[in-house]
Structure formats: structure tokens, C-alpha cells
A and B are shown apart, each in its own frame.
With several copies, the nearest count.
Chain A
Amino acid sequence: MSFAKYKSNIENGDTVMLYLGFDNMHTLVIKDGDTFQTRYGALRHSHLIGKQYGSRVYCKKGYLYVLHPTPELWTVNLPHRTQILYSTDISFITMQLDLRPGSIVVESGTGSGSLSHSIIRTIAPTGHLHTFEFHDQRAKVAAEEFDIHGISEYVTVTHRDVCQDGFQLDHIADAVFLDLPKPWEVIDSAKGALKHQGGRICSFSPCIEQVQRTCNTLTSNGFVELKTFECLLRNHDVRTVNLPLPDLGPSDLVLHDGSVTINSSTDNGKQNDITEETDTGTESEKTDKDFIDANCLKTESEEQIVDTSDKSKRKIDSNDLRDSNSDTKRPRFDKLKLQNTRHDFDLIGCKDDKSFFFKTSAPTLQMPGHTGFLTFATLYHSN
């Protein structure tokens, strides 16, 4: 029931999402009497029943949020039985297939049901998904999941190898989605599944050779307007950067009992390192900032937000106060001299005598480089 529509309070049997932090989420089916172990301690299911979705729930060692399930949260938390499609590709597929309430959709294979949940969300309550899976067990588990999630009325799961036996659907579908190693084997059958008035098709393939062969078959089957895309997600990490200003020394050399004395800079060792406040949480697992997985959603619990903000404020304040006696020796980038400088200089960040502070949302160092090629085509009605 919980996937079918929004509800405000948690009931026994609901599938809920526990949000402990960005890369720490769990999915949970509420079963009165059960207990779930989180890193913040045990959580009794009964404790959740009746709670409003979105509530903060306290465990012994911390708190978490209990969130309403969505296809997107399911996608990042579902048990993987196969490679799955992620929300970036799913979004684009949904748009390109013109899905909306009432659409009749054919999908093969069901896989782990990641895309299926999303399709059902979009086509309900008046549409229907016919999903085909050649792996018996996977088909069964998917059907069970749909049932638990309260969306089984919108979907028919069929265990069949469609490459051999076809969809056996007679012109009922608005759209067909294929995620098969040899999609070209089912194009003809897909054509038969699409309504007489025509429809849209999408084939997802990781390798270009599959795309080439699929395109050939689509074209020879009368599909037109073929377009092949890649759609890649780029996560941006919002953070405050404190870029140190270099010590370029005094502009005049000071004569001091016969030798040149330059004003040796006050201990810059620490201050000269770039300080970065990753706003999006500093979780304990995140040991190496350089290799944050871009596939992951990054976030933070509210507590951490407050922490980071306070830290950042303190840092800046202390910067404001620190030794300003060396003013005359350094180039001036004083923010408070606003009136004397061009406004333009001030539209990026803040400068004090030692640092250039600014907000940046740098792309994560690693990002998805490829998920698959999405080939779309239209079949127009045959006269």
C-alpha cells in the first residue's frame, strides 16, 4: 500500500525507508514485534507504527528519519538480483516513452524491479505494466514485492524467455522497454505488442555493438526517428572553500643592520592548506574525500548540518580577528572596502587578508562514466 499513494502515518505492513545519512539508508517492512539493528542502536518496529512519515526517530546512539517509500528511494535500497537501472536513466526513459497515467507498458526483463516500480508510479491508476522475466525466481520475487508494496493491481509479471516465445501481446501497448542482451530478437514481437496506432520503444544496452544491431532491426521493422542517448548524472558537492592567499613578501626590502630582512610570514603552515567544508555531511565512513562515489546520494542528518555550519562560522570569525598587523605588506582584498572597489570583485566570494572564501559546488571526483546507451524509436500506425 505504501507505494501506491502517499499516506501520512506508518501502519503495520508498510515498507518504510530509514534515513541515517546519505549513504546509509535501509528499507524495512514494518512487522509489529520485530526489531531492526541500525548503527545508532536497535529500533523496535512497534515504535514506528503510528508515527508520521518524515519523523525523526531516536535510537540509543543517535537518530534517524523514517521516510515514505518512493520508487527513487527503493532504487537505491532494493536488493540487487541483477544490474539495475538508476533514477537518471529511468527519468529519461519515462519522459521519452511519453509515460503518464493510463499508459500500457511492456517491460523485459523485470530484473530487480527498479524500473518497474518507477513505471507503475507513473502509469497508475489507469495504466498497466506487463513485465517479463526469463529467470523464474526473479519473476516470483518481483511479483511478491509488487504485492507487498501494494501495487500488484497495476502490473502483470510473466516468467518467459521473450527472445524465444515473444510477448504474445496483441496490439495493446503504448510503449515497450527492452533491457536484454539481444534486443533485436524481440523487436518483431514488440511491434506486435504495440497498439495499431503506434507507440514508442526504448532499448537499453551497455555496449555499442548491441545498439548497432538493435538500430538495424528497428529500422527494418519500420520504427522511425531513432535516437540513441547517454544520460549521465553529475553530482555537485556544495562546500565552502578557504583558499589561502600567498605571502608574496613586502614590496620593499627593509634595511636592517647591514642585511636584508624580509618580514618573515607568521606561521602559515596550517593556514596555507586549503580548508574545505564539505557541507554535505562528514560521515565517519568517509575517510577519503577524494574518492566519494558519485553514484551515491550525499547528504547529512540535521545534527551534522548544524555542526558544520557552526564550525564554518567559527573559522571565518577567527580569520577575521587574526593578525591584521601585516596589512601593509600584503595585497589588499578587503571585503569591507566595498565602496572603494568595483562591485564585480565581490560577486564571487569574500576575501580577508589571508584567504579567499567562497562557496563552490565542485563536481565529485568520480562520476558515472557510462551506464548504458538508450535507444528510442517511434512506431507510427500502419495504414
Chain B
Amino acid sequence: MTSTDNLVKDGDRVMLKKGDNLRVFQVHKGREIFLEKMKFKLDGIIGETYGSLFEVKDGEMVKIVRQIENETSTDDKGIDTEKDNRHLLDQDSNQKLKQEEIEQMKKDGISGAHLIDQLIENSATFQSKTEFSQAKWVKKKKKKHLNQFTVLRPSTRLLCEMHWSKGPSRICNLRIDSLSQMLTMGNIRAGSTVMVVESCLGLVTGAVLERLGGFGKVISFYHGDSPMKCNLDNYDFSKEIMDTLYNYPLELVNSLKHKTELRVNDDVSMETADLTDESKCIKVEQDKDKSDNIVPSVENVIKDSNVVIDTKADVEMESESKNESESKTETRTESDLAEGEGQLKVADRSVEKTDNREGDCEQKTGGKRRGKKWNKRDNKVKKTKERAEAKILRAKEIVDARRIIQEKNVDCLIVATKFHPTPIVLALVDYVNPSRQIVVYSQFKEALEDCYVYLREHKGLVNYRLTETWLREYQVLPNRTHPVIQMSGTGGYVLTATTVVKSPN
């Protein structure tokens, strides 16, 4: 994401943009992708600058020079032509080339410009059109037939546009302007600790990670089986940024209020360890200083490894040790794993489900993991090991995230889920520092009204606002300037409030 490093590399996730159509692909030398009814390889973009324009030719991406559109040439022609349109009927049926012929030419690798020429030649009516109509016609045909893609780095803006155009219900109708309000009203910035509860395909988590830029911490709450990592792949975040992400399961949220401490015992020095023999523990200990009521002290022994993380350690330190452990648990087998499972309840569940989820992702991106190839047997062994690693990591992550939350030093809570937000907000709001922002999004105003009423009862907040933004796009063309004909009726609602120190009365 640094500015000097602006060339497409093998393994990068890139966005291909054609008009308003956006898709993410991972670059793999020699692999074909399928897009807009065409199969082609992305090899041609490797080593080229992000922002370049390519055309698909003979199944390959060929870089082409971007031409300056000269809209001004049609200046003042709009009005004259509109009047003359009265005598025109829809002329598309006057195209002598059949659809199959056009498709065949495309398969034969005709260049887009050449195809357009063919279309003009075979149009019965092109010459009878006014200059303005001709220009309009060519533009329309270009949009349809020119297979030109701009290669872009993924960003929150582009991913939000992509998801929105694919179907806003998948991201809870979260429109880009609403998302932008959330980030601003939440005062999201480098160095912050942000709790995110979302079910918008990772869009909100990714947006927060982007705005933190590797500085700070994001605690992402996941429902049962969907930690956000898979969805975040699209962002192609650097390791520095991904290291600021912690995942925490929603089903352990209520338990947070008993100031217990989960601890992972994990021996850093362990190398070729056997799953069944290692002693890795998650200890849940009551924080006796703060909690007056009696909470059972529990301990969960996970026999994977025995790294003991000092709960007072700095977080940056932690992520380092995490990475070390990642590279050290390589030789475990699947059977080992199975034996270990019976006792690993907290971590296990989420890890298992994560794996499934990652499987889904793989299918989508072509059934292969980035930049690696194994034969099937090796793959199986490695995967087992990875899964075991992931389990430990996840367990540690839960412990880490729990500790961060319980420090009550959170700077922002952002909620944007398919669930009713009130219980989530009420359960988490007290972990947010005073004089900070909470931001609750919902596609239903009623849900936020309810949340608002409960928060008022809960107290400890001021400066409530329940807002909606309208987004109106304009077509700005000579003599044809007006708001666009269709607009989005709703992009969701946002409730914001500022935390304050709870007063005794």
C-alpha cells in the first residue's frame, strides 16, 4: 500500500474495473479467470503499474493507452438533437451483423476498436444519425463490446461499490455514504482501539483496518462461524495491518462482564510437538480485584503447545510471538488433531468453522491458495498442520482480544450487523472509554430507535444523533446536466452518541 511500490505482482489481489462493473481477482501466473463471458489470463498485468488500462486480446491482457474522452466536442449539440430524435425509432434491429457473428469475432480475438468499426459498417442507420447521436451510439457500443479493464488496487471505496452493485442486501444495504459517515463520526484514526461488530462481508472491518493503517487495534466480533478474515482477503492488507486485527466470538461477549482472565499456556520453545502431549491451556481466572460477586474459576486445557503469554505484555510483542509459533508447528497430523479436539471447546468451535469458511473462499477464488502448489497428499498434511496452528492462534487471539476489551480502553464501538443491535451495544458500550464515539448502523430505523431508547435508559452517553444521508448523483454533460434518473431510496441509518463518565446518580 506504500506509494513507491506501485507495480502489480504475482499473488496480488487486483480489481478489474469496466465501467461500473468491479471484480476482485488474485493474480496467478498462467491461471485463467472468467469474466464478462470471457476466459483470459492476467499474466499481462504483472509488472505493470496499477491504474493501467488493458484490453483482452486472444485470452491475454494487453496494455493499451488510455485516450482522453472528449465530451466537449459534442458541446451545444444536445439540445438540437433531442428535437430531432422525434423521427427516430430504435435502430438496433438494423444491425446486419448477428449476435453470433459478433461473438465469433470476439472469440477470434478481434480488437475492440476494430469490432466497433465493423458494427458501424454494418449498421443500416448509423450514417443517418446526427453527429451527437453517432457519438452516443459509439459510446454505447464501446461500453458493450470493448473488453477494456482498468487494473486497480482494492480499497474500501471500490469494494463498497462492488458489493453494492452486486446486491446491497448482502452488506445490509450499507451504502458508501453511510459507511463514510460511520468512519468519520466514529473518529476512526491511526492509534485507536476499535471494536467492530458487523455482518457486511468484512467491509466495515476492512474500512476500519484501512483507516488505522497498521496503527492501533481492531477487535472484530464474529457470530458463530464467520470470523472476518476470509472476507478481508479482498483488501490484500499488508501483514502490518492484519496484525492489528483480533477476532472475538460474539458468544463470549456476555462472559466479558465477569472480569475473568483467559490465559493461553503455550510454550514458545516447542518444535515438533505432538498435539495430544502438548499442554496448552486457556485459563479463565477471576480478577479478584474488581469482581465482587462469585464467579467460578475455570480452566481449559488445550494440549497443543504451551506458550505462556504474559498478559501484561505489549501487544506488538504478542503478535511477534504469534508469528513465531505460526512457523513452528509444522509436522502435526490430522489424527493428532482429532484427539486434541475433545477438550478444546472454546477455541475449537470457532477454528473449525473458520476453516469451513476459508474453504468457501477457496472455491470462489478458484480452489487454490495464494502462490502455493502442492500435490494432494502434501496438501493434506500441510493443511492439517495449518489447521492446528490456526487453532492455537485463534485461541490466543481470543485471549488477547478479551484482555484488550477488558482493559476498558476502547476508543470506538462500531456495530453494523444483521442482528438486532441493541443487545450487542448494551453488552459492549461499557468497555468504551469516556468521551469516545459509538456508531450503530442498521438498515432499519426501528432497530436504531429501539437501541436509542435502551441506551438512554442505560445512561453514560450524550450527543445522540439518528441520521440518514441522501446521495444524489448528477449527470454533468453539455446541455444534458441533471440528477441521474435512478437513485438509491435507502442507504441505511446511523445512530451515534458520545460516551461520558457514568455519574453515580
Q: How far is the CA of A355 from the CA of B249 in the complex (A)?
A: 20
Is residue A35 within 8 Å, beta carbon to beta carbon, of the partner chain? no
CB pair B179 A95 closer than 8 Å: yes
Which residue from A87, A195, A208, A364 sits with its C-beta under 8 Å from B489?
A364
CB pair B83 A219 closer than 8 Å: no
Which B residues are CB-close (under 8 A) to A224? 66, 69
Which residue from A102, A309, A345, A375 sits with its C-beta under 8 Å from B213?
A102
CB distance from B125 to the nearest CB of A (A): 19
CB pair A248 B427 closer than 8 Å: yes
Additional 18 contacts, C-beta under 8 A, given A55-B501, A71-B187, A254-B296: A68-B435, A102-B1, A124-B190, A174-B3, A216-B71, A243-B420, A246-B250, A246-B419, A248-B253, A253-B284, A260-B299, A268-B224, A290-B167, A297-B463, A366-B487, A371-B485, A380-B66, A380-B150
Which residue from A72, A252, A361, A378 sits with its C-beta under 8 Å from B185?
A72
- Considering the complex, give the chain A residue whose CB is closest to the CB of B463: A299
Q: Which of B92-100, B307-315, B473-481 contacts A (4 or more CB under 8 A)?
A: B473-481
Which residue from A231, A243, A249 sits with its C-beta under 8 Å from B177?
A231
Q: Mark A142-176, 1 if CB is under 8 A from B, else 0.
A: 00000000000000000000000000000000100
Which residues A77-103 have CB closer than 8 A to chain B?
Answer: 87-88, 90-92, 94-96, 98, 100-102
- Considering the complex, give the chain A residue whose CB is closest to the CB of B497: A299
Q: How far is the CA of A300 from the CA of B260 in the complex (A)?
A: 35
CB pair B300 A95 closer than 8 Å: no
CB pair A365 B488 closer than 8 Å: yes
Chain B residues engaging chain A, CB cutoff 8 angstroms = 1-3, 6, 49-53, 63, 65-66, 68-72, 78-79, 82-83, 86, 150, 155-157, 167-169, 173, 176-177, 179-181, 183-185, 187, 189-192, 210-215, 223-224, 249-255, 257-258, 260, 282, 284, 295-301, 343-346, 349, 411, 417-420, 422-424, 426-427, 433-437, 443-450, 452-454, 456-457, 459, 462-476, 478-490, 493, 498-501, 503
Pick the most buried of A122, A298, A309, A372: most chain B CB atoms within 10 A of its CB.
A122
Is residue A348 within 8 Å, beta carbon to beta carbon, of the partner chain? yes
Which residue from B187, B213, B490 sits with its C-beta under 8 Å from A126?
B213
Pick the most buried of B78, B82, B211, B251: most chain A CB atoms within 10 A of its CB.
B251
Classify chain A: how many residues form its interface, as a range: 35 or more
CB distance from B418 to the nearest CB of A (A): 6
Which B residues are CB-close (under 8 A) to A102? 1-3, 213
Q: How far is the CA of A121 from the CA of B189 in the complex (A)?
A: 6
CB pair B433 A348 closer than 8 Å: no
CB pair A182 B83 closer than 8 Å: yes
Which B residues are CB-close (under 8 A) to A359? 446, 449-450, 453
Which residue from A181, A253, A344, A355 sits with its C-beta under 8 Å from B260?
A253
Is residue A135 within 8 Å, beta carbon to beta carbon, of the partner chain? yes
CB pair B500 A65 closer than 8 Å: yes
CB pair A298 B465 closer than 8 Å: yes
Q: How far is the CA of A254 from the CA of B258 in the complex (A)?
A: 12
Chain A residues engaging chain B, CB cutoff 8 angstroms = 5-6, 8, 19, 22, 52-56, 65-68, 70-72, 87-88, 90-92, 94-96, 98, 100-102, 104, 118, 121-122, 124-126, 134-135, 174, 181-182, 195, 197-198, 206-212, 215-216, 219-220, 222, 224, 226-238, 241, 243-256, 258-262, 264-265, 268, 272-274, 279-280, 288-290, 294, 297-302, 305, 309, 329-331, 333, 342, 344-345, 348-349, 355-356, 358-373, 375, 378, 380-381, 383
CB pair A299 B464 closer than 8 Å: yes
In the assembled complex, 30 residue pairs joining A and B whose CB atoms fall closer than 8 Å, in A order, are: A5-B189, A19-B498, A22-B463, A65-B462, A71-B187, A72-B184, A87-B184, A91-B177, A92-B176, A94-B183, A98-B157, A121-B187, A219-B72, A224-B66, A235-B466, A235-B489, A236-B466, A248-B427, A249-B252, A255-B296, A260-B282, A329-B254, A348-B446, A348-B449, A356-B450, A361-B448, A367-B488, A369-B487, A370-B482, A371-B485
Which B residues are CB-close (under 8 A) to A22? 463
Which B residues are CB-close (under 8 A) to A222? 66, 68
Which B residues are CB-close (under 8 A) to A375? 476
- Considering the complex, give the chain B residue whose CB is closest to the CB of A239: B449
